[in-house]
């Protein structure tokens, strides 16, 4: 019974914190001016005045103790309150801070899709400020950058990417550091940025789950994530170069005879593109053929095309050879090498 009482105390204390937060929020909204994104308040901090009281209640309790799951509940309830008040009062508030805190609390729990979506919403809400002052973007705030850069006791996503850049560094005889990665990531359009970082984090988490116990559901998640990573490359190529099309036609344009880029590898890539077939019965033999190609540039980009094409048409995750190459990081490392290579040549 002592545990039931303890649990009840926890629930009652949490409800008290939430009630206090909702009360502070309602008072703040009553006094707040309407936010017009086309004519934002001149002082950045003014946009948060209605929310500061409610935010502080969480920041000095649940958030300070690292209770991300309870912080998520808190900010979800506050966001609902804001939405309801806006609808009833035909007003509008800047919700950048609430989306940011909600998203960060979700990512901290491994809720990657929900978390990064809310981080993107925060970025969109604050566009009136960061379009003239990039330092105001959530991507440049420590609140978010902790995930990319890491904090004491937790590896950042950039650290993870650096580990998997060793193949590229070896094959191209060059050094990649965090500054290079930061330049790559900051050069991406917002959609490609958020997709790239979130997908890499999902791959990292799912590979850890697969290492604990191999299972078909997690295999599928990893395969879909690898496809999404290839699509992130495709999207970045299109956006950066104002092009349309899929990965192969994009590479044909960017590495044409008149492109002035290094294309010694391109004929070999073209001759072996047939091995990126989406036929499930051939994927193992096709991948083995691609791995046998001596030119690292042709090989890595063919792997991207193979994963993109196969995953778009098949859900067969039973091939153990393919997943050995996923578990030992061979496929992931080659995809990361493709991104680094294309950035080096200013394609993304």
Which tokens in the block code for residue 86?
A: 């806006």
Question: What is the pLDDT at residue 206?
Answer: 95
Helix (H) or strand (E) holding 205: helix 190-212
Token pair 């934002």 in the structure block, residue: 40
Question: What is the pLDDT at residue 2?
Answer: 77
Question: What is the pLDDT at residue 152?
Answer: 83
Question: Taking Cα atoms as reference points, which of 242, 269, 276, 275 lies closest to residue 255?
Answer: 269
Which tokens in the block code for residue 201?
A: 């984090």
Question: Taking Cα atoms as reference points, which of 134, 132, 136 lies closest to residue 100?
Answer: 136
Alpha-carbon dihedral sign for residues 305, 310, 313, 315: negative
Please list the pLDDT of the chain residue by residue as tens digits (348 residues): 778 888 998 999 999 999 999 999 999 999 999 999 999 999 999 999 999 999 999 999 999 999 999 999 999 999 999 999 999 999 999 999 999 999 999 999 999 999 999 999 999 999 999 999 999 999 999 999 999 998 888 899 999 999 999 999 999 999 999 999 999 999 999 999 999 999 999 999 999 999 999 999 999 999 999 999 999 999 999 999 999 999 999 999 999 988 888 889 999 999 999 988 777 677 888 899 999 999 999 999 999 999 988 766 666 677 888 889 999 999 999 999 999 999 999 999
Using a cut of 0.75, tell me whether the model's pTM lies above it.
yes
User: How far apart are the C-alpha atoms of 304 and 232, rounded to whole Å?
Assistant: 11
Q: What is the DSSP string of 77-128?
A: HHHHHHHHHHHHHT-----HHHHHHHHHHHHHTT-HHHHHHHHHHHHHHTHH
What DSSP designation does 39 have?
S
For residue 314, what are the contacts with CB-CB under 8 A and spacing of at least 6?
A: 278, 280, 283
Which tokens in the block code for residue 347?
A: 């394609």
Question: What is the pLDDT at residue 73?
Answer: 98
Contact indicator for 302, 290 with CB cutoff of 8 Å:
yes
User: How far apart are the C-alpha atoms of 70 and 60, rounded to whole Å?
Assistant: 13
Question: Taking Cα atoms as reference points, which of 140, 144, 179 lies closest to residue 161?
Answer: 179
Q: What is the dihedral of CA 28, 32, 35, 41, to 10 degrees?
A: -110
For residue 318, what are the contacts with CB-CB under 8 A and spacing of at least 6?
A: 216
Which tokens in the block code for residue 113?
A: 């899709």
Question: What is the pLDDT at residue 219?
Answer: 93
Q: What value does the CA radius of gyration of the chain take, rounded to a whole number of Å? A: 24
Contact indicator for 302, 293 with CB cutoff of 8 Å:
yes
User: Within 13 Å, how many C-alpha atoms sit on residue 183's CB side?
Assistant: 9
Contact indicator for 17, 65 with CB cutoff of 8 Å:
no
Q: Count of H helices and E strands in the chain?
A: 18, 0
Question: What is the pLDDT at residue 237?
Answer: 96
User: How far apart are the C-alpha atoms of 242 and 249, rounded to whole Å?
Assistant: 13
Question: What is the pLDDT at residue 315?
Answer: 62
Partner residues linked to 154 by β-bridges? 151
Q: Say how many C-beta atoms besides its own lie within 10 A of residue 215's C-beta.
A: 12
Cβ burial of 271 (10 Å; 0-12, 13-18, 19+) is exposed
Q: Provide the residue count of the chain.
A: 348
């Amino acid at each position: 019974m002592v545990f039931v009482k303890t649990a009840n105390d926890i629930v009652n204390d949490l409800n008290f914190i939430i009630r206090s937060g909702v009360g502070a929020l309602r008072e703040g909204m009553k006094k707040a001016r309407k936010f017009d994104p086309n004519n934002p308040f001149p002082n950045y901090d003014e946009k948060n005045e209605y929310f500061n009281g409610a935010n502080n209640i969480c920041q000095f309790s649940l958030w300070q103790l690292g209770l991300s799951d309870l912080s998520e509940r808190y900010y979800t309830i506050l966001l609902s309150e804001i939405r309801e008040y806006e609808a009833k009062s035909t007003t509008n508030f800047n919700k950048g801070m609430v989306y940011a805190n909600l998203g960060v609390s979700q990512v901290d729990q491994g809720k990657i899709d929900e978390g990064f979506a809310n981080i993107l919403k925060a970025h969109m809400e604050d566009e009136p400020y960061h379009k003239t002052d990039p330092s105001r973007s959530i991507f440049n705030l420590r609140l978010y950058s902790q995930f990319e850069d890491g904090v004491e006791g937790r590896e950042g996503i950039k650290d993870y990417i650096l580990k998997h850049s060793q193949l590229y560094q070896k094959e191209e005889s060059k050094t990649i550091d965090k500054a290079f990665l930061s330049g790559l990531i900051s050069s991406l359009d917002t959609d490609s940025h958020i997709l790239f970082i979130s997908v890499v984090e999902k791959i990292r988490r799912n590979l850890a789950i697969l290492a604990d116990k191999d299972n078909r559901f997690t295999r599928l998640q990893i395969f879909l994530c690898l496809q999404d990573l290839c699509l992130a490359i495709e999207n970045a190529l299109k956006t950066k170069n104002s092009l349309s099309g899929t990965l192969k036609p994009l590479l044909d344009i960017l590495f044409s005879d008149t492109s002035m880029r290094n294309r010694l590898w391109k004929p070999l890539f073209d001759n072996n593109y047939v091995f990126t077939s989406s036929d499930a019965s051939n994927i193992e033999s096709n991948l083995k053929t691609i791995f046998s190609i001596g030119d690292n540039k042709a090989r890595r980009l063919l792997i991207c095309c193979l994963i993109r094409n196969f995953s778009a048409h098949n859900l067969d995750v039973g091939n153990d050879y393919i997943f050995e190459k996923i578990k030992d990081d061979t496929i992931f490392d080659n995809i990361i090498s493709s991104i680094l290579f294309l950035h080096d040549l200013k394609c993304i």
